[in-house]
Amino acid sequence: MWPSRAHLLWTCPALQEVRPVMPAPIDRVEVVMRSGRSLSSMLQQAIAESPDAITLATDGSSRFDIGSYAIVSEKPPFCYADADEQEDQSPFRMELLALVMLFETLVKCDTLPRLATVFVDCESALKALAAPGRCGIPLLAQRASDAIKGIRQQNICVSMHWVPSHGKRPGWCAPAGYAADECRRLNDKADDAARRHCEQRCRGADRQVWAGQLVAAKAREVQVVRFSSLAGTRLEMHLQCTAPANDAE
C-alpha cells in the first residue's frame, strides 16, 4: 500500500531530517481604529486667524490595509489626521475621505473664509468630485461634492488644485498667487501626517500581524511544495532500489 502524501509531509520518520517546520496557519483579521480630535475646532480657529482665505492640503495613506488621512494648513498652522472604521482602507478611499471630512466639516462652521484653496496630490480624487457617478465609490464622492455646493451657495469660493507628490514633475507650475515650493511643502506635510498616523494605527493592529503571517505562510507553502516534491522523489528512488529483480527469461 502506498503511503499518503500527508504521511510523507507530516509524519514519515525517513524524512524527518529534511522536513521543514510547518506550524498550523492562523486566520484572524480585526482592526482597532479611530482617534478623537476635533477638525471643526481647528478649522474655525484657522478661519478666525485668516478670515479672507485659508490654504489647505489633504492626503491619504494606507499600509497593511490600514488607512489614514490628513488635513493640514501652514498659515495659520494646524495638522489633523484621522481615519474611519470601514472595511475599505485603500489609499484612494483615504484620499477621498479626507476631502469629504474637510468639506462636510467646513460647511458647518459658523463663519467661513472668502476663499478656501485645497491642494491634493491625487488626480483621481479630484476627478471623482467633478463626476461622482463615474467614481468607484460614488456615494462618498457625492458627499464631498454636495458639501462643496453647500459652501459655494454661501458665496464662498472653493478652489482645488492638483500638486505633484514626492518631488515629481520638477517643472510643475503652481496656480497664480502661489509658489510651487510652498505648495509642495504643504503637500509633503499632509503626506507625512497621514503616513505617521497610519504607522501609529498599524502598531499592534491585527491586520499588520496578519500581513506578516501572510508573508510567512507563503514562504511556508513554497517550502512545503518543494519538500513534497522531494518526498515523492525520495519515495520513487526507494521503491526502485527495493523492487525485486525481474526473472530472467
What tens digit of pLDDT does each residue of 180-226 get?
Answer: 999 999 999 999 999 999 988 888 765 556 566 677 778 888 888 88
Cell of 135: 467614481
> Domain with 61 in it: what CATH number?
3.30.420.10
Global pTM exceeds 0.75:
no
Grid coordinates 478611499 are at which residue? Answer: 93
Q: Quick one: 78 and 138 in the same domain?
A: yes
182, 225: one domain: no
**Residue numbers of the domain that contains 56:** 39-203
Residues 195 and 225 placed together within one structural domain of the fold: no
**184 class by beta-carbon count within 10 Å (0-12 exposed, 13-18 middle, 19+ buried):** buried
Average the pLDDT over each of 107-121, 164-178, 199-213 and give the range with the smallest value: 199-213
Return the residue matching grid coordinates 461622482: 132
* Cα dihedral 168/171/172/174 (nearest 10): 130
155 & 72 share domain: yes
In angstroms, the CA 105 to CA 39 distance is: 7
Work out how many domains the chain is built from and give that number: 2
